[in-house]
């Protein structure tokens, strides 16, 4: 019965066996092209988008691509990116966290208030930057836990619970900041978090270490896979990627270390912002968690098919609660960064465009609103786009009406690309 | 190859019953499957097929009667108990995450990671913080991929281009093959397939039926639920018929024909096989 069909299957059998041999660079590029065609666009649209943005704003204003302004953009994007890291995890589950903006403000205002009170109240004199930051982060993580608990225990939509959170935490911020309107940050460490730069040599070391680490991981993975007889990335491609990353990394390190003081009499100003190093570190850590651990795998699984994950023994509700806690933690960190940038917290903290920019950053970076698809790095790339557009429009002195319209169009374009690539994947999925 | 019916059945239910409120879904059903055979479970809608396999799979318990595995009485309270015994169910909707690749789907819920001996069940004895830490160790992707490829090769699932493709990019037959391979990955001994060929084309149905035969050749006990008598007569060694929660009878495939089975399913209300010229 089965003999005849096995014969007809045998030419295809070699296709699977093919996968156990080393790929040639041509094959690798070929399969990358296939993935692109089937709608797995990865970071490609955003890199093209960034080039386009740079060209447009640079042609309109020569100051856009100066080292000084590029560092400004990096500092500007840091808050969006850090809050966006948490948002990526939430979106991967197919959920949303509308409270992230005001939860970040809770983190910022807690830090600012406790630091201010520690100067006036002897009972609080033990408070310093190194213990106030963990306290603030613990509070925002607890808020995330509360949201996650309400969502999973009462089986409520995250949209509604975090919408309630958006209102309630806005209220809390208003109450804490009080009539004064603004709480200034005196503590030098927190105050300079967003503006401090590293000595020039450290920029080279950090970026160099990043490039080497990524390449080392690629090489060891490819070697181990080859040894195990599995399809491995061809060395030519790894070398090409290493070369490309080295050039880009060297260029960025060089940019960071150019003196960006406004005139020659001013004290020299150069170096990689501390905040950029923090962003990079968080990116590595969270990417590891998302792509190399069971927890990360379960986040994707719950976003892809909740029921399948449940039947496979995954504790779906625990994963959801943990992700909302992570979102709270990242919002808290982002809130402290934003507070440090302004060197104060005002009643409007966490409001305005913040939440929309954060969600837009994650989506523009390639994380799907429909769950299951996305990467941590999309928060950084998206935040870079959002901050570049905001910064560029600021340089052009556009009215806020125009700014809103353009930001809206950028977000719309990102969502359309997401929907199109999704449709393409579905069309090519059921061949 | 037919099973050897002289020894102990791999899995046996003795006089199991189940009711939901006032509805008696199963009434004193005896059912067994031997190693190396395919048993088809047939019956009209509401005959109790799903109730029987869900009871065996631990989705809920039976009200009365007993379940024997390898001749020993066992108590299956949840799907993990079933998995620990080596009973795996492939549900009709397959329970695959479209966004994950073939390897990730086959290992879902039981991923291997550094410092952790491969576990055979979804159960983890470690608790609390330790368990959380364990879930943050790096996954051993290479080991998992090797095992997935070798399992697929053993089952002669040969139409996959790569085990790193997301499941969304696979055809219906390939998805069914992945779901079945996932079920046998864990040294399972009984595999229960719920409508494995529904919604498949002719060629893909052929692939899946061959795969079902290969499971039996490996010495597994295979239970197939299906409405398609043509498929059943191609793949099954025995055919157990349920009607309104009662077991009607069990036929040996070689000693019966479709007409007789239809008769048993419908209590004689249909004399011929629909769609077949008499």
Tell me the pLDDT tens digit for each residue of A182-229: 999 999 999 999 889 999 999 999 999 999 999 999 999 999 888 888
pLDDT at position B117 is 46
**Residue A111 C-alpha from the chain's centroid:** 23
pLDDT score for A302: 96
Task: Report the complex ipTM.
Answer: 0.86
B46 and B106 both lie in a single domain: no
Q: Which chain B residues are closer than 8 Å to A229 by Cβ?
A: 146
- Co-location of B31 and B99 in the same domain: no
Q: Tell me, yes or no, whether B11 and B78 share the same domain.
A: yes
Q: Which of A143, A170, A157, A152 is CA-nearest to residue A325?
A: A143
Summary mean pLDDT of chain B: 85
Q: How far is A306 from chain B (nearest CA, A)?
A: 8
Q: Please check the confidence at residue B91 and state whether its pLDDT lies above 60.
A: yes
Distance between CA atoms of residues A313 and A319, nearest Å = 12
Question: CB-based contacts of A180: which residues, under 8 Å, 6+ apart?
Answer: none
| Helix, strand, or coil (residue B263) | helix
CA-CA distance, A324 to A381, in Å (whole number)? 22
Asked if B92 and B179 sit in the same domain, the reply is: yes
Ranking A84-88, A314-318, A327-331 by mean pLDDT, the lowest is A314-318
Chain-chain contact of B108 with A314 (C-beta, under 8 angstroms): yes
Q: How far apart are CA A307 and CA A206, in angstroms?
A: 42
Out of B99, B136, B207, whose CB is closest to A304?
B99
**CB contact set of A315 (below 8 Å; sequence gap of 6+):** none
Q: What string of DSSP letters covers B20-62? A: ETTEEEEEEEEEEE-TT-EEEEE-STTSSHHHHHHHHHTSS--
For residue B149, tell me if it sits in a domain. yes
Residue B193's nearest CA partner among B154, B236, B160 is B236
Which of B88, B100, B167 is the mutation pick for testing A, counting most A CBs within 10 A? B100
Structural domain span for residue B5? 1-86+229-271
Strands B221-225 and B190-194: parallel
Q: Is A176 helix (H, G, I), strand (E, B) or coil?
A: helix
The residues, ordered by sequence, that sit 6+ positions from B117 with a Cβ below 8 Å of its Cβ are none
- Window 235-294 of A: residues touching B by CB (8 A cutoff) are 288-289, 292-294
- Overall domain count for chain B: 2
Do the Cβ atoms of A112 and A344 come closer than 8 Å? yes
Pairing of strands B238-243, A182-184: unpaired
- Residue B214 domain-assigned (yes or no): no
Contacts of B211 in chain A (CB under 8 A): none
Residue B212 placed within a domain: no
Contact state of B146 with A229 under an 8 Å Cβ cutoff = yes
Per the prediction, chain A carries an average pLDDT of: 88
Task: Read off the pLDDT of residues B129-153 as tens digits, 9 standing for 90 and up.
Answer: 566 677 788 888 888 998 898 888 8
Region A123-128: mean pLDDT is 88
* Cα B225 from Cα B243, distance rounded (Å): 14
**What pLDDT, in 10s, does the model give residues A141-190?**
999 999 999 999 999 999 999 999 999 999 999 999 987 789 999 999 99
Put simply, the chain B residues between 49 and 108 with a CB less than 8 A from any chain A CB are 79-80, 83, 91, 93-100, 104-105, 108
Residue B265 lies in a domain: yes
Nearest-CA distance from B170 to chain A in Å?
A: 6
**B184 and B98 in a common domain:** yes
> Is B222 inside any structural domain?
no
Q: Is residue A4's pLDDT more than 80?
A: no
CA distances A339 to A108, A134, A275, A358, B88, Å, are 6, 15, 13, 16, 54
Measuring CA to CA, how many Å separate B126 from each of A193, B129, B211? 40, 9, 36
What pLDDT band is residue A1 in, cutting at 50, 70 and 90? very low
Predicted local distance difference test score (pLDDT) of residue B160 = 82
Cβ <8 Å between B113 and A307: no
B168 in the same domain as B148: yes
Inter-chain touch B213–A2, beta carbons under 8 Å = yes
pLDDT tens for each residue of A314-324: 889 999 999 99
What residue in A sits closest to B111 (Cα-Cα)?
Answer: A294
How many interchain CB pairs under 8 A, A with B? Answer: 139
Q: Are B4 and B78 in the same domain?
A: yes
CATH of the domain at B26: 3.40.50.300
Which of A132, A77, A130, A91 shows the shortest CA–CA distance to A337? A77
Whether residue B178 sits in one domain with residue B145 = yes
Task: Give dist(CA A379, CA B107) in Å, integer.
Answer: 28
In a domain, B159, yes or no: yes
Q: So what's the pLDDT on residue A22?
A: 59
Q: Are residues B80 and B97 in the same domain?
A: no
Nearest to A15 among B105, B161, B214 (CB): B161
Is A1 close to B234, i.e. CB distance below 8 A?
yes
Q: How confident is the model at residue A14 (pLDDT cuts 50, 70, 90)?
A: very low
Q: B244 and B256: one domain?
A: yes
Q: Do A228 and B159 touch (CB under 8 A)?
A: no
Question: What digits encode the pLDDT tens for the residues B19-34?
Answer: 998 899 999 999 999 9
pLDDT at A3 over 80: no
Among residues 298-317 of chain A, which lie with CB inside 8 Å of chain B? 298, 300-301, 303-305, 307-309, 311-314
Out of B171, B188, B205, a domain closes at B188
Same domain, B81 and B92: no
Question: Which H or E run includes A93?
Answer: none
């Amino acid at each position: 019965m089965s003999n005849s069909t096995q014969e007809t299957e045998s030419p295809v059998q070699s296709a699977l066996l093919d996968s156990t041999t080393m790929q040639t660079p041509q094959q690798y590029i070929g399969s990358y092209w296939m993935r692109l065609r089937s709608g797995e666009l990865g970071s490609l649209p955003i890199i093209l988008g960034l080039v386009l943005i740079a060209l447009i704003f640079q042609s309109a204003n020569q100051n856009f691509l100066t080292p000084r302004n590029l560092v400004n953009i990096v500092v500007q994007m840091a808050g969006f990116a850090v809050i966006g890291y948490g948002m990526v995890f939430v979106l991967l589950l197919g959920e949303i966290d509308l409270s992230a903006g005001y939860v970040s403000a809770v983190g910022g205002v807690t830090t600012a208030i406790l630091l201010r009170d520690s100067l006036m109240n002897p009972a609080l004199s033990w408070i310093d930057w190194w213990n106030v930051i963990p306290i603030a982060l613990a509070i925002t993580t607890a808020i995330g836990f509360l949201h996650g608990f309400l969502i999973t225990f009462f089986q409520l939509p995250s949209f509604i619970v975090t919408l309630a959170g958006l209102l309630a935490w806005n209220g809390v911020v208003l109450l804490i900041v009080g009539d004064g309107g603004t709480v200034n940050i005196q503590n030098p460490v927190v105050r300079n978090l967003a503006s401090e730069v590293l000595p020039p040599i450290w920029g080279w070391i950090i970026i160099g270490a990043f490039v080497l680490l990524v390449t080392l991981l690629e090489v060891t993975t490819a070697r181990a896979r080859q040894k195990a007889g599995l399809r491995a990335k061809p060395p030519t491609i790894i070398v090409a990627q290493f070369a490309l990353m080295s050039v880009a990394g060297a260029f960025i390190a060089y940019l960071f270390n150019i003196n960006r003081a406004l005139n020659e009499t001013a004290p020299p100003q150069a170096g990689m912002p501390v905040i950029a190093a923090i962003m990079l570190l968080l990116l590595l850590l969270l990417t590891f968690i998302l792509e190399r651990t069971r927890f990360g795998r379960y986040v994707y699984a719950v976003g892809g098919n909740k029921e399948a994950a449940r039947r496979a023994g995954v504790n779906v509700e625990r994963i959801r609660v943990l992700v909302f806690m992570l979102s709270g933690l990242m919002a808290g960190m982002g809130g402290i960064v934003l507070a440090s940038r302004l060197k104060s917290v005002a009643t409007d903290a966490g409001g305005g465009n913040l939440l929309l920019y954060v969600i837009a950053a994650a989506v523009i970076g390639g994380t799907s609103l429909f769950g299951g698809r996305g990467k941590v790095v999309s928060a950084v790339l998206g935040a870079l786009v959002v901050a570049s557009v905001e910064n560029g429009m600021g340089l052009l002195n556009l009215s806020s009406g125009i700014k809103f319209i353009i930001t809206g169009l950028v977000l719309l374009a990102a969502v359309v690309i997401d929907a199109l690539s999704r449709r393409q994947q579905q069309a090519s999925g059921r061949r | 190859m037919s099973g050897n019916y002289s020894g102990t059945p791999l899995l046996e239910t003795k006089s199991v019953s189940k009711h939901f409120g006032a509805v008696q879904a199963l009434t004193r059903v005896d059912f067994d499957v031997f190693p190396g055979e395919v048993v088809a479970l047939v019956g009209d809608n509401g005959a109790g097929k799903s109730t029987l396999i869900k009871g065996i799979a631990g989705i809920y318990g039976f009200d009365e009667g007993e379940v024997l595995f390898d001749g020993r009485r066992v108590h299956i309270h949840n799907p993990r108990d079933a998995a620990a015994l080596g009973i795996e169910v492939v549900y009709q909707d397959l329970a695959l995450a479209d966004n994950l690749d073939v390897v990730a789907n086959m290992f879902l819920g039981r991923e291997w990671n550094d410092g952790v001996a491969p576990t055979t069940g979804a159960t983890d004895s470690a608790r609390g913080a330790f368990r959380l830490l364990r879930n943050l160790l790096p996954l051993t992707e290479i080991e998992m991929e090797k095992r997935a490829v070798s399992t697929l090769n053993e089952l002669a699932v040969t139409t996959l281009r790569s085990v790193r493709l997301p499941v969304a990019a696979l055809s219906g037959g390939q998805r069914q093959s992945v779901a079945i391979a996932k079920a046998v990955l864990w040294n399972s001994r009984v595999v229960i397939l719920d409508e494995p060929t529904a919604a498949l084309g002719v060629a893909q149905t052929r692939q899946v039926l061959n795969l079902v035969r290969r499971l039996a050749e490996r010495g597994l006990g295979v239970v197939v639920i299906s409405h398609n008598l043509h498929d059943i007569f191609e793949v099954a060694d025995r055919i157990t018929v349920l009607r309104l929660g009662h077991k009607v009878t069990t036929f040996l495939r070689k000693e019966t024909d479709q007409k007789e089975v239809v008769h048993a399913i419908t209590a004689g209300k249909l004399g011929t096989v629909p769609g077949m010229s008499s």
